[in-house]
Structure 1
Amino acid sequence: MNNRPLAGRAAFVTGASRGIGKAIAVALGAAGAKVAVFAKTGEPHPKLPGTVYETAAEVEKAGGQALPIIGDLRDAEAVTEAVDRAASEFGGLDICVNNASALDLTPVGEMSLKRFDLISQVNLRGTFATLSAALPHLRESDHAHLLTIAPPLATDPKWFDGGPYTATKYGMTIMTLGAAGTEPGVAANCLWPATTIATAAVEFALGGTPMIERSRKPEIVADAALAILRKSPDAYTGNAVLVEDVLAAEGVTDLSGYAVVPGQTEFQPDIYVDPR
């Protein structure tokens, strides 16, 4: 098996200073890719771990080439400049991972317009800006992949309580799957975990330490992402899939090593996913 299946490929990853984005960036580096690490955090945050520079260092330690770029996903001009810079310095772009997201499950009748603007600008507008900036470069690649961390579309009304957030996340899915139909030669897929993942968003917005202890490590998403991103674009596109199903198709069924708490067997189902 090729230990560096993406050697020489160039990737752009949003929200890569911590959590899932960081794990994906490092996995891409280990697979031989050149990785542009895009996020807001350049200096250590008093409450949150990680910076773009720390992620870049880990990408290079893993064997990849890193380009740290500080920027705000809500600034479309900054996003375009970042994507173009990555393509220029890397000699093209093969992979775009839309990971950055703002989480807020406040119901529609309680959420402020200011907070709605934030989650919609990051999740929906930010993904659109990144896709728009990346596609001209991806069209020139013979291994073009768009991958968005967004859920399969579930219509059970129980998922609509956090309506504003759900609208933005489903919007990310719809845009990506739409690209699968309109961009020949560019694979466009969405990936989502069946269980919560140990990230700062889960810790601070959902359930604190007890929730983290019932979660899996971000590396499980990164391994599934890598399994998708090394596939031929012609062979795998237009899918919104669960992390665990991707790994199972790769023959990985023992997920015990991804548990935050060793030996944990009961995990918190992620939103938009029924318990398995």
Structure 2
Amino acid sequence: MSPTLRGKTLFITGASRGIGKAIAIRAARDGANVAVVAKTAAPDPRLPGTIYSAAEEIEAAGGRALPLVVDVREESQVQAAVERCVEHFGGIDILINNASAIALTRTPETSMKRYDLMMDINVRGTFLCSRLCHPHLSRSSNPHILTLSPPLDLQRKWFAPHAAYTTSKFAMSLLAHGMAAELAVDGIAVNALWPRTLIATAALNVANEGGRERARKPQIMADAAHWILTRDSRNCSGNFFIDECVLRAAGVTDFAAYLLTPGVEPLIDLFVEEAAAGPNTTRQGSAPAAVGS
């Protein structure tokens, strides 16, 4: 029997667009329930997609969706969203810490408002959502927390161009690292996932002008996440996964379908070494025969 997320409930932050929405739609194809947790309730010409349009796509793919307007910086809003999700779907099996703010600026050019935004969304939001979902995850038969953050690597080159942003993303990874050990007693898997190459998202439009044509589609992250989330939570935790490495371990050899621009090789993303091609994890479970695409 193929691994499936049928009947599982996912609480996904930043799910109105990009990677978060792609993960949601991939889960929906299995028949999963998805709480679409994001701030965007009204269309924004700069950032297409709302929680409601994402919910429509999720349901069209075969899942059930619950759109929730939430600012992950606000404890009361996250608490209310968690309670609403549990009331609506009966529990929470998976938390995806996807919401993130980005500013690839040097220290002199990084305003305190932007610094606080990155720390509050990336770090505080990840901790807050994990903390509030924990009681419900602990009651799941196969609970997972997946945080979209990079492998821990303290080389100066990752910090020099944008120390504040790098610190915020590595702090998310540190939380995943710590919670993997801390929550093992509850059977909750905690892993991190990061793309090997640029991914075509709205954030890329803001942070990397001109690089979009040399990116992969968000579906590669969704397929990698699906593989991780269908593992036994008690035997697949504490890993820093790279999307391409996960899929290669699962038997995927042709990545052409993920290219945004056919025939154009994608650029390597931040925090990933050019040579990274094999499994880049602290520990990795056995791969399934195939990964859905």
Q: For residues 53 and 62 of structure 2, what CA distance do their matches in structure 1 show?
A: 15
Q: CA RMSD in A?
A: 1.1
1:213 matched to which residue of 2?
213
Instruction: Extract unaligned runs of 5+ from structure 2.
Output: 276-293
Out of 100-109 and 243-252, give the one that drifted further.
Answer: 100-109
* CA apart distance, 1:110: 2.5
1:69 matched to which residue of 2?
68
2:178 matched to which residue of 1?
178
* CA apart distance, 1:118: 0.8
* CA apart distance, 1:62: 0.9
1:199 matched to which residue of 2?
201
Runs of 4+ in 1 over 3 A off after TM superposition: none
Per-residue Cα deviation, 1:19-68 (whole angstroms, up to 9, x for no partner): 00110111111122111001111111121111111111111111111101
Instruction: Extract unaligned runs of 5+ from structure 1.
Output: none
Query: Per the alignment, in what secondary structure is the counterpart of residue 92 of structure 1?
Result: coil
Residue type of the partner of 1:108? T
2:5 matched to which residue of 1?
6
1:169 aligns with 2:169: yes
Q: For residues 84 and 132 of structure 2, what CA distance do their matches in structure 1 show?
A: 11
Q: For residues 115 and 225 of structure 1, what CA distance do their matches in structure 2 show?
A: 29
* CA apart distance, 1:108: 2.0
Query: Per the alignment, in what secondary structure is the counterpart of residue 109 of structure 1?
Result: helix
Per-residue Cα deviation, 1:116-152 (whole angstroms, up to 9, x for no partner): 0111111011111111111111011111000000000
Q: For residues 221 and 11 of structure 2, what CA distance do their matches in structure 1 show?
A: 17
Q: State the percentage of identical aligned residues.
A: 47
TM-score (norm 1): 0.96
Q: How does 1:1-276 map to 2 (within 5 A)?
A: 1-2=1-2, 5-161=4-160, 162-183=162-183, 184=185, 185-207=187-209, 210-264=210-264, 266-276=265-275
TM-score (norm 2): 0.91
Q: For residues 172 and 236 of structure 1, what CA distance do their matches in structure 2 show?
A: 19
Residue type of the partner of 2:258? Y
Residue type of the partner of 1:158? K
* CA apart distance, 1:206: 1.7
2:285 matched to which residue of 1?
none
* CA apart distance, 1:163: 0.7
Q: For residues 127 and 167 of structure 2, what CA distance do their matches in structure 1 show?
A: 14
Per-residue Cα deviation, 1:135-180 (whole angstroms, up to 9, x for no partner): 1110111110000000001111100121111111011111112111
CA contact (8 A) 1:84 1:133 kept: no
